[in-house]
Amino acid sequence: MKKKLEIVYKILAVAALLYLFLVSISLMGAAFKGFGKGFAENLIRTTSNPFVGLFIGILATSLVQSSSTTTSVVVGIVGAGGLTVGNAIPIIMGANIGTTVTNTLVSLGHVNRRDEFERAISAATVHDFFNLICVAILFPIELSTGYLEKTATFMSGIFSGVGGIKFVSPIKLVIKPAVGLIQKAALLLSGSELPAYILMAVLSLVILFFALYFIVKVMKSLVVNRAEIILDNVINKSPILGLFAGLAFTIVVQSSSITTSLLIPLVAAGILTIKAAFPITIGANIGTTTTAILASFATGNVSAITIAFAHFMFNLTGTVCIYPIRFFRVVPINLAKAFGELAAKKKRYAIIYVLGVFFLMPTLLIIISKLF
Partner 1 sequence: MFKNLLSFWKGKDFLVQVIEDFKIMLDDSESMFEAVCAQLLEGAKEPGLKDKIYEIDKQVNNLQKEIRGRIVEHLSLQPTVDVNTCLILMSVVKDAERLGDYSKNLYEVTELLAEPIDCALFSEYFDKLDKKILALFQQTKKAFIDADEDQARSSWQHEKKIAKDCDQIIERLAQSNLPVNQAVCFTLVARHFKRIMAHLVNIATSVVLPLSDLDYFDERKNED
Of the two residues 126 and 243, which places its CB atom closer to partner 1 in the complex?
A: 243
- The dihedral sign for the CA sequence 129, 131, 132, 133: positive
Least distance between partner 1 and beta carbon 224 (Å): 6
Of the two residues 127 and 172, which places its CB atom closer to partner 1 in the complex?
A: 127
Least distance between partner 1 and beta carbon 272 (Å): 9
Of the two residues 174 and 229, which places its CB atom closer to partner 1 in the complex?
A: 229
How many angstroms separate the Cα of 327 from the Cα of each of 8, 196, 245, 266, 347? 48, 55, 24, 26, 29
Of the two residues 216 and 227, which places its CB atom closer to partner 1 in the complex?
A: 227
Report the distance separating Cα 124 and Cα 243, nearest Å.
Answer: 16
Of the two residues 20 and 124, which places its CB atom closer to partner 1 in the complex?
A: 124
What element of type H or E holds 271?
none
- The dihedral sign for the CA sequence 312, 252, 209, 95: negative
273: left (phi over 0), alpha (psi -120 to 50) or beta: beta
Question: Which residue ranges make up the site for partner 1 (CB under 8 A)?
Answer: 224-235, 238, 241, 244-245, 262, 265-266, 269, 271
Least distance between partner 1 and beta carbon 116 (Å): 11
Query: For residue 97, which amino acid is it?
Result: I
Report the distance separating Cα 279 and Cα 240, nearest Å.
Answer: 7
Based on the number of CB atoms within 10 Å of its own CB, is 229 exposed (0-12), middle (13-18) or buried (19 or more)?
exposed
Least distance between partner 1 and beta carbon 105 (Å): 16
Of the two residues 241 and 331, which places its CB atom closer to partner 1 in the complex?
A: 241
Of the two residues 259 and 296, which places its CB atom closer to partner 1 in the complex?
A: 259
Q: Is 65 helix (H, G, I), strand (E, B) or coil?
A: coil
Least distance between partner 1 and beta carbon 225 (Å): 6
Q: Is 47 helix (H, G, I), strand (E, B) or coil?
A: coil
Are the CB atoms for 321 and 137 separated by under 8 Å? yes
Are the CB atoms for 301 and 77 separated by under 8 Å? no
Least distance between partner 1 and beta carbon 103 (Å): 12
Shortest CA distance to 249 belongs to which of 277, 281, 276, 278? Answer: 281
Largest CA distance in the chain: 65
Report the distance separating Cα 208 and Cα 60, nearest Å.
Answer: 15
Least distance between partner 1 and beta carbon 14 (Å): 19
Shortest CA distance to 118 belongs to which of 282, 269, 284? Answer: 269
Of the two residues 63 and 223, which places its CB atom closer to partner 1 in the complex?
A: 223
Least distance between partner 1 and beta carbon 111 (Å): 17
Report the distance separating Cα 80 and Cα 29, nearest Å.
Answer: 5
Least distance between partner 1 and beta carbon 240 (Å): 9
Are the CB atoms for 124 and 344 separated by under 8 Å? no
Of the two residues 182 and 227, which places its CB atom closer to partner 1 in the complex?
A: 227
Of the two residues 6 and 228, which places its CB atom closer to partner 1 in the complex?
A: 228
Least distance between partner 1 and beta carbon 228 (Å): 5
Report the distance separating Cα 268 and Cα 20, nearest Å.
Answer: 37
